Each structure stands twice: as structure tokens, then as C-alpha cells.
Amino acid sequence: MKKSTKGWIKSLFAGTVIAAGISVAATGALAGETVKVGVSLPLTGDWAEYGDFIKKSVNMVINKANKDGGVAGKKIELVIADSRGDPKESVLIAQKFVGNPEIIAEIGDFSSSSCMAAAPIYEKASMAQVSPTASHPDFTKKGKNMFRVIGTQATEGPYNAKWAVEGFGAKTVATVYINNDWGVAANKYFTQAAEKLGAKVIAQEAFSPGEKDFSSVMSKIKRLNPDVLYLPVFYADGAAIMGQARRLHYKPTVLSTGSLYSEKLIEQGGKSVEGVMTSVAYFPSNPRPESMAFTKEFKATYNKTPNMFAAVGFDAATLVVAALKKSGAKDRASIGKALEGLGGLRGVTGDFDYSKSHDPVKEYAKIIIKDGKWVPVK
């Protein structure tokens, strides 16, 4: 008898704990004259720093929009969630956003894999998922409510391959790329295009996220001595790679993607990163008026120089605000349609016309680090 009483208490306790937990999880939000936008980004873990830049930009745009009177008489409220760069977390967050009827659009996630994992949930709820950074070509094929701000790998890769092979006359190329969904795609589209153009790909070296020892891999590249080294990596890794190459007395011709563009690269890399070239859709000294205005505003707000991640975050938020305004912020399904109807919205990283395709066409500028500054390639 004693045992069963104990069992009773245990079961009761277990039940209460579960129930209490769930009710906490389920507490709804306050009602009011607001319209909510979900933001799903990695705010902790390996990708936190990039998520943070995007978050800053998004906050800036929304605050400004609210100051200017909001959309359709309503204030925009952000519901920010940390996905830690784990697709499973993104799925959970997606379901949470979709389950909250007040949230009518979503900005995020960061990685293509996260976005694609969450896509079916958003698609089913007709909620627009506007990803600043998902560059995998398949992302926008996951549904008619998937939008991206950044250019796809399928356009950026060949662009850079052409630059390498035709611009530099490279006969041999090598790549060192980060082994995540983005890096793999970046490497694939570049090497495919380079081979098609007649160059020989002599090494494709992936490194695990979190890796900081590149001396062995750079020794190898040095020995193989390719005409052009393609580096689809993030700037934090870029500085380490170039620093370690310099220690080996190796000075390759380096091309990269917009991910490498950052003031931080110069801050961290110093002399080692001199001569590094990238193609970018955004850089601060870009004469494009939207870019200049954004750079100024971001610097004034956060006392930091923005980078590519901040720029696409800004555009994502701007697009969502514009769509909210256009649609009257009534329901979810109208946001996707409004985004398609924005026709040529001028953003920081280019013009956005989603009417035919949800993959924006980017114009890339070529920039190079010269005397510790990013300047356009002549």
C-alpha cells in the first residue's frame, strides 16, 4: 500500500510538472494594436555573431518604422527566438510562430538548412519566410512563401569562377571552404563553373566549423600552388587562414564571396589580408544612395561598421515592413503576395523584384583590400 501511495505522489508530481511546463510554454501574448513579426536567428553558438548583426539591423528598421507611425496604424512588434544554428530548433520555432495567430510574417533563419527545414511549416501556414542569408538554390523552391534577400550560390559561384578564370587567366584553382551547408554549396557552384570554363580544380579542402588551425591545409595549398585560391569562408575564419598562410610565407591570389567582406577582416588580419578580393552586393563606400544611408544609420545607432550580414538583415526587414504596409498587415497570406508586388524596391544590396522569381538578381561589385582598406577593383 505504501508503495502505491508513493507511486501516486510520483505520478501526480510528474503530471503537474509536465502540465505546469506546458502551460508556461503556452501562455499567449498580450492583445493590442500591434502586428507581430517573428525573427528566428542563431543568437548563441557558433553563428551567434552573424545572427547578432542581422538582429541589430532588423531592430533598427522596425524601430524606425514604428517611430514613423507603424504600418496601417499598428505598431510592429518583433518576436525574437534563438535557433542556435540547429535546424531542429528552427523547426520548433517555426511551429511556435505559426501557432501564434498574431505573428503574420517571419524573418530568418540564418543557414539554408535551417530555413529549408522550417520551410514546410511556414508554407503550410502561408506565412512568408524572408531569409536574409539562405543562399542554397533550393530554398525558394520549397514554396511560394519563401523569399531570400541574398543572391543564390548558383549565380555568385559562376560569377566568381568567371572572374578567376577570365579575369586572372587561372589555369589551376583550389578552394578552402567551411564545411556547412553554405560552404559546400559555394564550393560546388564555383568549382563546377571553373571546370566548365577550362580551369583545373586541384584541391577542394573543407574544414569543420570551429576549426582554427589552418597551417596544415595552407602548407598543402602552398605546395600545390594554384593560380587562384577561392575562399568561401566567413570573415572570422578568413583572417585566421590568411594569417597562417603568411606565417608560411605563402601569398596566394585570393578570391572570395561577400561573406568575407567586413571591416573585421582587416582589423583581425592586418597585413596578412592585403590583396584579398571579394565580390560583394554591399560595401559601405558603395555610391548607391541606399547603401550610404544604411551605413550611416547603422554606424550612428550601434557605433559599429556594418557588414554584408547587417546589410541583408536590413533589406529583409525593409522588405517585410514594405509588404506589411502594402497589404495593410491583415493576414499571413497577403504578405507573400505583397512581397511579390513590391516591384523594384531599392534595397541596400540591390533591387528586389519578386514578381517572377523569389531569387533576387544581384549586381556584384569587385573589391580588394589595399593599404588596410576595402576599395573597388579597378
Partner 1 sequence: MLEQLINGLTQGSVYALLALGFTIIFGTLRMVTFAHGEVFMGGAYVGLTLFTYLTPSLPLALLVAAVVTFIMGALIEIIAFRFLRNAPHFSSLLVTIGLSVILINLAQLIFGPETRSIPPALIEDLAFGEIQIFGFYVTYLQMAVLGVAIAMMVATYFFIEHTPIGLAIRATSQDHEAAYAMGVNVNRIFTLTFAVGSMMGGIAGVLIGLYYNVFYPTMGILLGIKAFSASVVGGLVSMPGAIIAGLTIGVIESFAVDFWNASYRHLVAFVFMIIILVIRPAGIMGKSGPMSGRGD
Partner 2 sequence: MTKMVKELIANSPLIGLLALLLVIPGFIENQYVLQVMIFVGIYIVLVLSLNLLNGYVGLLAIGHAAFYGIGAYASAKLSIELGFPFLLSFILSGIIAGFFGFILGRPTLRLTGIYLALATLGFNVIVWLIMLNWMDFTHGPLGIMDIPQPELFGYKIESRTDYYYLMLAFVVLTLFSIHRLVSSRFGRALVAIREDELAAEASGIDTTRYKVQAFILAAFYAGLAGSFYAHFVKYVSPDSFTHMESFSILAMLALGGGGNLLGPVVGASILTVVPEAFRFLDEYRMFMYGGILVVMMLVRPMGIFGASSYSFRLKLFDEKEKSYDKGDKFIDLGDDTGGKTPEGSA
Footprint of partner 2 on this chain (CB under 8 A)?
4, 6-8, 10-15, 17-18, 21-22, 24-26, 43-44, 48, 80-82, 85-88, 91-93, 95-96, 98-100, 112-113, 116-117, 120, 136, 138, 179-181, 183-185, 206, 208
Least distance (Å) between residue 111 CB and partner 1: 16
Q: From the CB of residue 229, how many other CB atoms can be counted at a distance below 10 Å?
A: 28
Q: Which does 81 bind (CB under 5 to 8 A by kind): partner 1, partner 2, none?
A: partner 2
Q: How many residues bind partner 1 (CB under 8 A)?
A: 42
What φ, ψ does residue 361 adopt, rounded to 5°? -85, 130
Residues 258-317 that bind partner 1 (CB under 8 A): 264, 267-272
Task: Kindly identify the residues of this chain, within the stretch 218-247, that bind partner 1 according to CB under 8 A.
Answer: 219-220, 222-223, 236, 239-240, 243-244, 246-247
Pick the closer one to partner 2 by CB: 52 or 263.
Answer: 52
Comparing CB distances to partner 1, the nearer of 144 and 370 is 370
Q: Cβ–Cβ contacts within 10 Å for residue 133, how many?
A: 26
Closest CA to 53 of 132, 124, 111: 132
Q: How far is the CB of 271 from partner 1 (least distance, A)?
A: 7
Closest to 342 (Cα-Cα) out of 312, 310, 313, 315: 315
Q: Does 210 participate in binding partner 1 (rule CB under 8 A)?
A: yes
Binding residue (CB under 8 A) for partner 1 from 28, 208, 303, 344 = 208
> For the purposes of burial, counting CB atoms within 10 Å of the CB of 282, is it exposed (0-12), middle (13-18) or buried (19 or more)?
buried
Q: Which helix (H) or strand (E) holds 256?
A: strand 254-256
Distance in angstroms (rounded) separating the CA atoms of residues 173 and 167: 13
The pattern of x and - marking residues 26 through 65 that bind partner 1 according to CB under 8 A reads: -----------------xxxx-xx-xx-------------
Is residue 46 within 8 Å of residue 85, measured between CB atoms? yes
The one of partner 2, partner 1, none whose footprint includes residue 330, by CB under 5 to 8 A per kind, is none
Nearest to 207 by CA among 233, 228, 227, 239: 233
Place of cell 518604422: 65
Select 264 or 332, whichever has its Cβ closest to partner 1.
264
Find the shortest distance in angstroms from Cβ 11 to partner 2. 3
Q: How far apart are the first and last CA of the chain?
A: 88
Helix (H, G, I), strand (E, B) or coil at 94: helix
Grid coordinates belonging to 208: 569543420
80 binds partner 1 (CB under 8 A): no
Across the strands, what pairs with 82?
41
Q: Report the interface residues with partner 1, using CB under 8 A.
A: 43-46, 48-49, 51-52, 176, 179, 204-208, 210-213, 215-217, 219-220, 222-223, 236, 239-240, 243-244, 246-249, 264, 267-272
